[in-house]
Amino acid sequence: KNSPVIESPDSTIGMRLGMPVKEFVELDMEILDGNGDFEQVGDHPYFGLQVNIKPRLMDKKGNYRFIYWLNETAHTKWSNAAKTKETGTGFGVSFDQEVADDIGVFLRAGWQRDEVYLAGEGFSLDSSYSAGFQLSGNLWNRQNDILGIAYGIINPSDEYKKAGPLHADAETHFEAYYNYQINSNVAISPDIQIITKPYGNDAVNGSSAIIAAGIRTQIDF
């Protein structure tokens, strides 16, 4: 998943079906055990549906994904703590498009039902937005290199803000990476991420910003 407002379970069991509907349309469906307890599989299911439209705009490839999800794992309503069997639901879009031979852009947005929170979480989000671009090294005579930059924002829910003396600020993300192809077998990718107002500035003893840097090496044989 590419969105923090999609509640798909991380470790679970389930089923996924993907099929082409038309040459430029794909449909993906999944049903998972929502709570991942592996005991009563299917008692609290998670449903996901994605439609991917793949047009060629001015002979450039693109993917336009439309996503809906429903999570029947127990949620609690912020305004009424006695309501502990609510469902979570949301939808999103994810677009990526080549705009030139060596330039691609993407845009993602997601929303979810913000008046409930997943049992054990104690917080809920309203929406998230992100955008970025990717450049091919052809632009500077490094045809196998790639430069990518992205920026995103995550908005806590209004009901979460009302639940107590919380800042509940919007959390922002910035990421930049460069894939440097050393030779046909080895590539390195330095990456930097900057997160401001992590956890909405509500983490105990938390920092107002987090900076993480790393480097990945890929070796192909």
In three-state secondary structure terms, 158 is helix
Rounded CA separation 19/97 (Å):
22
pLDDT of residue 8: 84
Task: Convert the pLDDT of each residue in 113-149 to its tens digit.
Answer: 999 998 778 788 999 999 999 999 999 999 999 999 9
Domain count for the chain, please give it.
Answer: 1
Measured between alpha carbons, how far is residue 105 from residues 52, 98, 101 in Å?
Answer: 17, 6, 12
In a domain, 213, yes or no: yes
Rounded CA separation 166/170 (Å):
12
Rounded CA separation 49/47 (Å):
7
Between the CA atoms of 100, 98, 5 and 40, what dihedral angle is there, to the nearest 10 degrees? -160
In a domain, 97, yes or no: yes
In a domain, 2, yes or no: no
In a domain, 5, yes or no: no
The more confident residue out of 112 and 33 is: 112
Rounded CA separation 71/7 (Å):
7
Query: 126-150: b or e for each residue (b if 16 or more CB lie within 10 Å)?
Result: bbbbbebebbbbeeeeeeebbbbeb
Rounded CA separation 91/110 (Å):
6
pLDDT of residue 208: 85
- Residue 188, pLDDT > 70, answer yes
Q: Please report, for the domain that includes residue 50, its CATH number.
A: 2.40.160.10
Q: Is residue 95 within 8 Å of 127, Cβ to Cβ?
A: no
Domain assignment of residue 175, given as a range: 14-219
Task: Convert the pLDDT of each residue in 65-120 to its tens digit.
Answer: 999 999 999 899 998 889 999 999 999 999 999 999 999 999 999 999 999 998 77
pLDDT of residue 201: 85
